[in-house]
């Protein structure tokens, strides 16, 4: 019996790695007469793996009666489609629900089960009938039985839709699942009252707080976090039920789960504990302008980086290849350049694989590279074909992203404060073109020499202990105005011993030059100022007022001039064990985060000097790959600094992976690249001799 397992950012059948770059093809939405022709186009694209949903609502033509062989309608012939895939040598990712969403009625479940949430007895008893029936069809095609199905997705983007089941959840005055969760968490009403600062007579009286409306109240903050803990608890519990049920029905290949782009309802880290790995679903607007440049691309990159920190395989389970009816009104016409930026950015973030959704047009879906009749949309197909070729040559699962920088991210911070959208540290790193990892306090994957603290002002006691150990063992922790000063119960806790500022000065008129050792950077805004007193091991960080633009107010010029040269103590550096804590009482900006890297002697590896250009350096066994995207509408020529141990130097062969052109370049700390507006590319760099 073949052995299938997850290791080294890949899936292996015996000792053969299976390609995890694939495309979605919905057999049940296409004419069977066209299946072979469509799959020939998929193969011409260079793909070896196909994914598909199996739709419960469609295959159950009468309650309790299933058609998987096309007896009632030809498109229902799942068996024939699987046979064809195997005949043509494709690997298969199967996604049988019960829910599939997919712009299908009721998200893919029958009418009679749609009114019940996933943890209800009604849903689970009906779902088991479907799950057992489809499992019996799929089992002969599993790789463990000699077939080609190597990966299985139980259900889809699990969300308990608590907003549609508020009564069942216990959100509107009557007890439900929410109160059951609180009983598990707190055991007694006295413990709940202490945590929430309430005086309930029973836990059944507790009411949800899903958004902060009085954030200064400690008990309110705990209640808010408990709401998001509840959402995460429900989703993980539902995923586990689906996984366990399919396992009972004989599905013994690796299982993965997908989750929403945004990071609130689903706790990716908790889901990852009950499947073999997780994948994110991403659908950015055309050329990343859905939310305005550069916000959308920045969020996209942050979500992909976080996915790496909690999953054994950095994987995009649904990767935009077209849009559904409705989103097209916001996303616009998806251009070839959009796919180019999107895919190259994914490689830059460190993704090891993805599934293009949809690869083939179908009802309610537009802008795919292959049409329903097996014809190609040339301008799109060519881009997908080249990207696939580049992916196959690069072999992303075997590449290491070169960075010594990481940013702390906690899933409860993401859910309750949406800091992936708003955090100033992430914004500054993005605008400075510093590629980085994210560090989840539980998984502790991607611990790097330099860590920036981002997120909320609370952090669990156990996680604060990990941060302190990280510093004492040699790490450099940088906090700007934000740092952990409360624990998970919102009680005061500052295990890092970070000093409070003596005062907070107005941002008006503040234009500063900050000095970090021999490094300087400009900054402005409100100032956290410290009283510089003698403290052992403390090195104070100072800033000096500059003149800046003169005030556009009559007779005020002399005021600004007189204030020029004013000194402020805006932070400090403290040695802790083998590492350092750096506290800066200013808002981060690109200049500051770059100065921090220079001050702490932490390389950036790849850093572009042109605005709108974002780069990443990936290393393989015998070559480097410089991935770059230009989010600006104009052409950009950019000098990319290559610094740090293990970067290429000397006489190199540089291959433009889009055109195939090869140049000999003498690299001495930088390389010049050129990108058209709204475009992306990868350059393969090979040193001509063994010295690096």
Give me the architecture of the 405-602 domain, per CATH. Answer: 3-Layer(aba) Sandwich (3.40)
Residue 37 to residues 42, 109, 360, 541, 565, Cα–Cα distance (Å): 9, 30, 12, 67, 74
pLDDT number for residue 442: 92
Cβ 220 vs Cβ 209: under 8 Å: yes
185-194, Cβ contacts within 8 angstroms, sequence gap of 24 or more: 185/226, 185/229
**Cβ neighbours for 610, distance < 8 A, ≥ 6 positions apart:** 630, 636, 637, 638, 639
Instruction: Provide CATH code, domain 4-163+236-398.
Output: 3.20.20.80
3-state SS class at 94: strand
| DSSP letters for 334-394 | PPHHHHHHHHHHHHHHT--EEEEE-SB-BTTEE--SB-TTS-B-HHHHHHHHHHHHHHHHH
**Residues 166, 153: Cα–Cα separation, whole Å:** 28
Are the beta carbons of 475 and 579 closer than 8 angstroms?
yes
Q: What is the tens place of the pLDDT at every residue in 517-533?
A: 999 999 999 999 999 87
Terminus-to-terminus CA distance in the chain, angstroms? 45
For residues 667 and 648, the answer to whether their CB atoms sit within 8 Å is yes
Report the DSSP beta bridge partners of residue 53. 95
* Chain position carrying tokens 């202490």: 194
- For 607-687, CATH number out of 3.40.640.10, 2.60.40.1180, 1.10.3720.10, 1.25.40.10 equals 2.60.40.1180
Contact 638, 613 (CB under 8 A): yes
Three-state SS string over 227-256 comes to: HHHHHHHHHHHHHHHHHHHHHHCCCCCCEE
The pLDDT score that the predictor gives to residue 692 is: 43
CA 522 to chain centre: 31
Q: How many CB atoms lie within 10 A of CB 333?
A: 10
Largest pairwise CA distance in the chain: 89
Nearby residues of 439 by Cβ (< 8 Å), 6 or more positions away: 309, 406, 407, 408, 409, 445, 446, 447, 448, 451
CA distance 257 to 243: 10
Check: CB of residue 316 under 8 Å from CB of residue 304. yes
DSSP 8-state symbol, 151: E
Instruction: Tell me how far CA of residue 65 lies from CA of 72, 130, 133, in angstroms.
Output: 11, 10, 10
Q: Where are the domains of the chain?
A: 4-163+236-398, 164-230, 405-602, 607-687
Q: Residues of the chain whose pLDDT is less than 50?
A: 292-294, 691-692
Closest to 671 in 3D by CA, of 690, 656, 660: 656
């Amino acid at each position: 019996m073949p052995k299938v397992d997850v290791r080294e950012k890949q899936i292996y059948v015996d000792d053969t790695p299976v390609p995890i770059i694939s495309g979605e093809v919905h057999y049940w939405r296409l004419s069977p007469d066209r299946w072979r022709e469509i799959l020939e186009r998929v193969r011409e694209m260079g793909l070896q793996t196909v994914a598909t949903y199996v739709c419960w609502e469609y295959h159950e033509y009468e309650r309790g009666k299933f058609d998987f062989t096309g007896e009632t309608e030809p498109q229902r012939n799942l068996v024939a489609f699987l046979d064809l895939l195997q005949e043509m040598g494709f690997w298969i990712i199967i996604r049988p629900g019960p829910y599939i969403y997919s712009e299908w009625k009721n998200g893919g479940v029958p009418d009679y089960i749609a009114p019940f949430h996933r943890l209800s007895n009604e849903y689970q008893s009906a779902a088991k009938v479907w799950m057992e029936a489809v499992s019996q069809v799929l089992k002969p095609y599993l790789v463990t039985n000699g077939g080609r199905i190597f990966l299985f997705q139980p259900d889809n983007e699990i969300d308990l839709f608590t907003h549609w089941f508020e009564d069942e959840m216990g959100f509107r005055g009557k007890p439900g699942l929410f109160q059951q969760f609180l009983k598990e968490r707190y055991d007694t009403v006295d413990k709940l009252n202490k945590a929430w600062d309430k005086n309930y007579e029973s836990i059944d009286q507790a009411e949800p707080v899903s958004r902060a409306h009085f954030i200064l109240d400690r008990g309110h903050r705990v209640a808010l976090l408990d709401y998001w803990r509840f959402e995460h608890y429900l989703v993980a519990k539902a995923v586990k039920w689906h996984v366990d049920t399919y396992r009972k029905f004989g599905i013994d290949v690796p299982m993965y789960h997908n989750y929403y782009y945004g990071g609130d309802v689903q706790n990716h880290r908790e889901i990852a504990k009950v499947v073999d790995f997780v994948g994110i679903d991403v659908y950015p607007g055309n050329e990343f302008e859905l939310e305005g440049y550069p916000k959308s691309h920045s969020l996209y990159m942050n979500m992909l980086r976080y996915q790496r920190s909690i999953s054994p395989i950095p994987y995009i389970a649904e990767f935009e290849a077209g849009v559904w009816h409705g989103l097209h009104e916001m996303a616009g016409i998806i251009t070839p350049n959009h796919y180019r930026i999107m895919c190259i950015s994914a490689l830059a973030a460190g993704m090891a694989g993805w599934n293009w959704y949809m690869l083939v047009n179908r009802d309610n879906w537009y802008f795919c590279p292959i049409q329903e009749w097996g014809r190609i949309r040339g301008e799109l197909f060519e881009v997908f074909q080249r990207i696939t070729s580049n992916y196959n040559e690069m072999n992303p699962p075997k590449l290491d992203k070169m960075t010594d920088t990481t940013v702390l991210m906690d899933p409860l911070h993401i859910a309750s404060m949406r800091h992936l959208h708003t955090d100033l540290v992430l914004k500054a790193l993005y605008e400075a073109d510093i590629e980085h990892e994210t560090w989840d306090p539980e998984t502790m994957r991607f611990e790097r020499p330099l860590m920036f603290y981002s997120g909320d002002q609370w952090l669990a006691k156990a996680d604060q202990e990990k941060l302190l150990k990280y510093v004492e063992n040699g790490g450099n922790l940088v906090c700007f105005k934000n740092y952990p000063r409360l624990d998970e119960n919102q009680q005061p806790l500052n295990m890092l011993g970070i000093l409070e500022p003596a005062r907070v000065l107005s941002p008006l008129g503040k234009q500063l030059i900050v000095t970090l050792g021999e490094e300087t950077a400009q900054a402005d805004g409100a100032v956290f100022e410290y009283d510089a007193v003698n403290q052992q091991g403390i090195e104070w960080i100072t800033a000096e007022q500059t003149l800046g633009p003169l005030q556009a107010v009559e007779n005020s010029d002399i005021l600004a001039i007189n204030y020029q040269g004013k000194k402020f103590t805006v932070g400090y550096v403290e040695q802790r064990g083998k590492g350092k804590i750096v506290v800066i009482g200013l808002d981060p900006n690109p200049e500051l985060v770059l100065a921090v890297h220079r001050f702490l002697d932490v390389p950036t590896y790849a850093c572009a000097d042109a605005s709108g250009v974002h780069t990443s350096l990936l290393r393989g066994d015998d070559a480097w790959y410089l991935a770059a995207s230009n989010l600006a509408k104009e052409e950009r020529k950019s000098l990319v600094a290559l610094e740090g141990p293990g970067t290429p130097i000397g006489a190199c062969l540089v291959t433009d992976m889009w055109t195939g052109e090869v140049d000999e370049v003498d690299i001495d700390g930088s390389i010049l690249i050129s990108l058209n507006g709204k475009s992306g590319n990868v350059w393969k760099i090979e040193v001509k001799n063994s010295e690096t």
